[in-house]
Amino acid sequence: MDSINNKTIIVEYYLVYTDGNNYYNDTIPTYIPEIIASWLNKSKEFVVDSTHDLLRAKFEIEITSHSSFQDIINLIIHHYGFNATEVLACSGLFHVMVQKELCEIEDYDMNLEQFLDLYPPSDKLMVFFIFSKYQGVIFKEQGYKYYMHSNENGHNSPHVHVNYRHEYDVSIDISNGRVLAGYMPQHILRKAVKKIKENKDYLLDCWNKYTNGIKVNMDIGVMGEGTMYI
């Protein structure tokens, strides 16, 4: 508590991955070093060799009445030399430990001093960049999550992943609603396919913007006959 009264606080930062059930700090999927490499403008090999240093850090930050969570994020970005634009473009990334629960911070401009008054940490503030299986969530409704992975390199069919209540997972071709992988009962699947068909153009645009998979030429036409990939 003294650190808060003195307007300074210790911040512990961790980069972790969650599969929806557990959190991992030392074992992370191979696509994450590729993302970090783009943040650093370095090779994936450099990131892999530097993994230990990139997964955790400790800072001391001065708190004023104008401080926000953005100040902490900027501190992390500056410490590692990350590309700020690419970091801030990642949705659902920044979390804080509050009363032993991980809470996503959506509003980075939230006043930090007021937050700490409401939820004072015992001796330090623990913050996390969390990469998730559902990082690229596009739609969330009625138990469904529609999402894309940033690393789709080598996949020839633009597709969207759909999870239903953490019980069923499928990959669905955006062009025709065909299931490419996974299983989902038909009465649940029908709603997912209907959603995808109704939002085909938007999903294709998301595929082009947020994945490194084969690109769709939107000027040629919507998916289906005559569609060209670039």
Percent of the chain with pLDDT over 70: 82
- pLDDT digit string, tens, across residues 33-67: 877 888 898 888 898 888 888 899 999 999 998 99
Given a cut of 80, is residue 78 above it in pLDDT? yes
Residue 64 region by backbone torsions, left for phi larger than 0, else alpha for psi between -120 and 50, else beta: beta
List pLDDT tens digits, range 85-132: 878 867 668 999 988 888 888 789 999 999 998 988 878 999 999 887
pLDDT in tens, 207-221: 876 676 666 665 544
Q: Where, residue-wise, is CATH 3.10.20.90 in the chain?
A: 2-132
The answer to whether residues 191 and 144 touch, using CB atoms and an 8 Å cutoff, is: yes
The domain 2-132 having CATH identifier 3.20.20.70: the answer here is no
